[in-house]
Structure 1
Amino acid sequence: MLRRAFNICLFTALLAGVIGFAPQLATAQDKTLTVFAAASMKNALDDVNTAYTKATGIRVVSSYAASSALARQIEQGAPADVFVSADLKWMDYLAEKKAIKDGTRVNLLGNKLVLIAPKDSKIGNVTIGQGFDLAKLAGDGRIATGDVKSVPVGLYAKAALEKLGAWQAAAPKFAMADNVRAALLLVSRGEAALGIVYETDGKVDPGVKIIGTFPDNSHEPVIYPVAAVATAKPDVAGYLTFLRTKAAKDIFEKYGFSFLIRPVS
């Protein structure tokens, strides 16, 4: 009887321990943030997220795609904590839908628009200016960029070419991709003779070379705003602060982004 009573007490104590531990276990499993970010940010943001996890123990799961696609997913209730867009338009879109938290939005990064070709292409460096004949430069080949109706890089590209007087002749040669990394891949594989991507994309793919940079005044500035999604977890505040630190700045600048704000300590 004594042994039976002891076993019952032991079981009760263990059960109480498990019950007491359950909330802690759930809390640990909840230490995850989900970031929806423009495809062009993948390499840099992966490194930033690794540094953040190392510093805080909070895991970051990132989903990369065109800003347009991500914004629509967030609008439809996708479980994201942070949104980083490659242009102001799609962040404005979510702000109008009340889908981001007031006071968390900041214009974090800048980029440049460039013209690329396959690494082994015979096309050399070009000066991009008024009257630039992109159609002639492409010859019989295709020109890859994002969808010019919705994907930020495509919107920037079309605006620049219209400003330079090159859009009408070049338009039939365009191969529209779902996002900037898909356009980059078309050029890297040699499936497109030229591509219009961001400078940071041109630098990370060894299969391409940058042959020209579009003038800043040919299109709206390439700006990456970041904000917390309206349904974000409380931990998101620490992550947004980390994105503004010098540690994050150094990583972003290593990949070619410009840091648009004063770093926080």
Structure 2
Amino acid sequence: MNRNRHRGARGLRILLALTLALASVQAGASATLVFAAASLKPALDTILASAPARAIGEFSVSYAASSQLARQIEHDAPAALFISADQDWMDAVESSGRLVAGSRSNLLGNALVLIAPADSAQQIRIGPGFDLAGALGTDGRLAIAEPLSVPAGKYAKAALVSLGAWSGVESRLVPAAHVRAALNFVARHEAPLGIVYRSDARSEDSVRVVDTFPASSHPPIVYPVALLRAGDNEAARRLLALLRDDDAARIFARFGFDPLGP
């Protein structure tokens, strides 16, 4: 009798769990999926919480490194909109035939900065031959996004190579999965210095900008945006138009981005 009661209770729990899971899937299915570079999170979350965005519908955003998102798109992830932190990964998605023709444009620009914890007294001027390794101290490591594939890491490596500082720090990196993770290493005092986007530094009170890398030291930082064929719908098209309007541009600028216009 007790065994039957136990089985009945267990079956009820399983049924409840399945019901909740199904409800979750159905709720998720009603939202338009957006893939966005991790550095966009503070600004894009603000835009999506605005009344005009809420009037369009429900959006679910997956934030990650552009490289990770591009690979998911190439494996048929049902996203409707993709905002990459560089042209290369958008080029890869476009080459795979997954963009809605004519929907691609350049949405934003950014800058690359060297950061330290907010309570750090570190001072260093970025320029050709600057001693970044010395600024790290004896045991310090430099936090950057993974430099082989993640856009922020690629920009950082390009800048350091251009300025002659890469060889001195190459063996002292803390490579992160994406730029927000590199930001957190510095914010938590796990690394004395890091390289992130200006927008990331502006969104985190626990870090401060030590200096800004010359724009000429790395390729232009450009965020292209495009609709994706796998999830293309009216809500995504309306959101794309919203991201290009003046109100969104003001929000992006407040968070440290450079809106590039239509």
Shorter chain as normaliser: what TM range?
A: 0.7 to 0.9
Q: For residue 138 of structure 1, what is the aligned residue in structure 2? A: 136
Question: Is the deviation greater in 174-183 or in 131-140?
Answer: 131-140
Q: What amino acid sits opposite 1:244 in the alignment?
A: R
The normalised TM-score by structure 1 is: 0.85
Fraction of identical pairs, as percent: 48
In structure 1, C-alpha distance between the alignment counterparts of 2:220 and 2:183, rounded to whole Å: 20
Superposition RMSD in Å: 1.6
Greater gyration radius? 1
Aligned counterpart, 2:198: 199
Trace 1:53-64 onto structure 2 (pairs within 5 A): 53-56=53-56, 58-64=57-63
Query: How many angstroms apart in 1 are the aligned matches of 2:155 and 2:245?
Result: 28
The superposition leaves residues 126-174 of structure 1 with CA deviations (integer Å, 9 ceiling, x where unpaired) of 3211111111111120100110000000000000000001101111111
Which residues of 2 match residues 92-107 of structure 1 at below 5 A? 92-107=91-106
**Counterpart AA for 1:67:** S
In 2: Cα distance, 1:171 partner to 1:110 partner: 27
Distance 1:77 1:229 in 2: 10
Query: Aligned partners of 1:245 and 1:40: how far apart in 2?
Result: 20
Counterpart of 1:3 in structure 2 is none
Cα 1:250–1:136, aligned 2, differ >3 Å: closer, same or farther?
same
- The AA in structure 1 aligned to 2:222 is I
Counterpart residue number, 2:229: 230
Q: Distance in 2 between matches of 1:239 and 1:32?
A: 12
User: 5+ unaligned residues in a row in structure 2: which ranges?
Assistant: 1-26
* Structure-2 separation of matches of 1:247 and 1:66: 26
Structure-1 separation of matches of 2:53 and 2:163: 44
Kindly state the Cα deviation for residue 231 of structure 1 after the two structures are TM-superposed. 1.3
Once the two structures are superposed, the pairs formed by residues 1-265 of structure 1 within 5 Å of their partners are 32-51=31-50, 52-56=52-56, 58-124=57-123, 126-139=124-137, 140-235=139-234, 236-262=236-262
**Distance (whole Å) between structure 2 residues aligned to residue 66 and residue 30 of structure 1:** 23
Q: Number of aligned residue pairs: give it.
A: 234
Where structure 1 has 5 or more consecutive residues not aligned to the other structure, the ranges are: 1-27
For 1:204 and 1:237, how far apart are their aligned partners in 2?
Answer: 28
